[in-house]
Structure 1
């Protein structure tokens, strides 16, 4: 009877997981504002150029992403080849991308559930399904979608296989930087930090050596320098007051052809954008210092890691001059791991993440054209979304400050 109940729960979870992925993939073809645009208009040309003797982003020319981001793009191009005669180049690439993301998510989902998932793992599974459904196609049709399952498996292995966890999080950071925040939280919270640090350094060294062999030189850290030219993007938290100025005609929304984003043009916008990165670094340093003090005083990893990871990831979003909607997918990982590690205290942050996913989808892609016209309704929705990001940061910091410390925990993992 018990075995049958476990089997039924697994069937329901997997059925919902696959159905939501299929629905989310399909909405990319239906929703306005072309939510699949980056995949077909940017990733496909990059991968085609790399495979046909053209420029290789991150190797022969500076790129906005870390170099390993090209790997899933190339894999998608190869997977799409048999579909081209039926769907055409663009359609084949989009379908192959959705299949690749679904397959990676399925691997992580299998790691999360196992054969007999505990209550916390089942709750985390349902949370992931709900978050994906609410966030919509932006959760699948961006390079960030590849890093989410990698980061989830890395987080799940943090206590049992810390070296593997460090390797996965490092690989994730070489695809899109944000998993580095989880690695940093793990290095602070775990007692196996030296093993993890050595592993992360070894993986990074291996990647750099391969890049040098392939011909990269100054381009290796180009993904850092390429960000310096960005202005204040309209969806960034700090852009919210300027958006309201745009509503009344006192600011403008302009498109940057260099960065391919919509940015704020208004007095003071550049100054605000300039202080955000130093402020982000400062807040991250303070959070790490608080976490390190908790660790030294004996805080348990399962209590310390989730709020520290969440706070660091939200800091990367809330204090960023870029406000891309896919950033919300990052929040799924620390929330999911919080449910797994410390379910009784994960409800508030998990609900906030679900609300953020829903509000983000309402802004992009559903009301994005109206936002670009600076209409009041999408600006209201975006303002609420950005306010909730600040609330989530406060919730994470509050939970971090309340992590108990005890000398009896000094040897616990």
Structure 2
């Protein structure tokens, strides 16, 4: 990488430009990317501050309880500038993670990862800042970066992110499998979770604190989930029986047709089964002697992709989850991770085409939009398969530390990422 691209001033200039562009795109109103923020999050914030409801306490909540923290914090300047405050909050959080990634003088791998993240955000578009997931991503990135210097607090931060939106728990699970410090990780996760649950119980939540679990399991098949492609293509080709509709309770677009009820019922246990298979592959590699530094990034990305690909719930913001494991991989060994990173960039660009600009065409199941979404979903499966192959090779029966290193392309430039 050219030396000038590693200069902090240039990196931060890039950060400012990318976030300014994303904020302008959000505020432009094209496709209404801030719909959830302005309609749903603001409504929740006002209802909570007025005392009408206590989400997660006396009323079921679709997200874990700590999701209320950024939702309420964005109301600090009132309802009028709520969306702008939200965008500012996410930008600040991204800035904290960006600072941790680049430091005072970033090395080539860290600088490359930083530029990749900025390009990823730009290609993903306004949705990169406009959902609750946008809060969890910088928290997860910061937690993962802390695992080398302060593993306990890294695990604590990943736990906090999990109680905002569930997906960062994949990092905790992957650490338990890949790292020898699994008991410290489990202690951090259990202790932090106990404090959060204890505070909610003291406020009178009872089992409502776990309502986000049942709220998710009761959903139908959302149109952006990979499994929905079967019915979307039926509708796009004019085959009767497949319909896109808006679920007023969940506030999402879903698909209904022959077999959708069965698919929705099967997908939840299938997701659990697939997660179990990924973990078994990771455990096999760990037992064969694969180092945690080599095993953890692909195992984490495989788990995150499984949560996306084998799921009846699908939303454009789910693609933001990929940033954390890919940044970790790029920092570890950019040569080994440039292929997956480029694949993720293509996925981000395809996602922005679908949402927000041509989402109405997707709802009308026009063949072009269904094709673009199908290609994006196919790339999710391709990237998942790529990671599973990498984990399998690390777990070859004759694996030793040196052989595991050789099994990872570009491993000669590998940089330790976990404190063991």
The residue that corresponds to 1:210 in the other structure is: 199
Whether the 8 Å CA contact 2:151–2:419 is kept in 1: the answer is no
Q: Which runs of 4+ in 1 moved over 3 A?
A: 4-8
CA RMSD after TM alignment: 1.9
Whether the 8 Å CA contact 1:280–1:316 is kept in 2: the answer is yes
CA distance in 1, matches of 2:221, 2:312: 5
Q: TM-score, normalising length from structure 1?
A: 0.94
3-state SS of 1:243 partner: helix
The residue that corresponds to 1:406 in the other structure is: 400
What residue ranges of structure 2 are gaps of 5+ in the alignment? 405-417
3-state SS of 2:57 partner: coil
Alignment of 1:167-206 (within 5 A): 167-206=156-195
With 290-299 and 50-59 compared, the bigger mean Cα shift is at 290-299
Whether the 8 Å CA contact 1:303–1:342 is kept in 2: the answer is no
Alignment of 1:72-221 (within 5 A): 72-78=70-76, 80-81=77-78, 89-90=79-80, 92-221=81-210
With 347-356 and 202-211 compared, the bigger mean Cα shift is at 347-356
CA distance in 1, matches of 2:24, 2:129: 11
With 168-177 and 249-258 compared, the bigger mean Cα shift is at 249-258
Q: What's the CA shift for 1:160? A: 2.4
- Residue among 297, 302, 315 paired with 2:293: 302
CA distance in 1, matches of 2:320, 2:259: 30
3-state SS of 1:337 partner: helix
Go from structure 1 to structure 2 and tell me whether the alpha carbon gap of 1:8 and 1:299 turns closer, same or farther (over 3 Å shift).
Answer: closer
Q: What's the CA shift for 1:293? A: 2.1
Matched, 1:311 2:302: yes
Q: What's the CA shift for 1:218? A: 2.0
The residue that corresponds to 1:392 in the other structure is: 383
CA distance in 1, matches of 2:281, 2:204: 41
Go from structure 1 to structure 2 and tell me whether the alpha carbon gap of 1:193 and 1:358 turns closer, same or farther (over 3 Å shift).
Answer: same
CA distance in 2, matches of 1:96, 1:32: 19
Whether the 8 Å CA contact 1:76–1:96 is kept in 2: the answer is yes
CA distance in 2, matches of 1:29, 1:246: 33
The residue that corresponds to 1:260 in the other structure is: 251
CA deviations on 1:263-316 (whole Å, 9 max, x unpaired) are: 111101121122111111111111111112222232112210110000000000
Alignment of 1:217-228 (within 5 A): 217-228=206-217
- Residue among 326, 331, 337 paired with 1:340: 331
CA deviations on 1:165-195 (whole Å, 9 max, x unpaired) are: 1101111110000000111111111111111
- Residue among 10, 34, 37 paired with 2:35: 37
Whether the 8 Å CA contact 1:6–1:116 is kept in 2: the answer is no
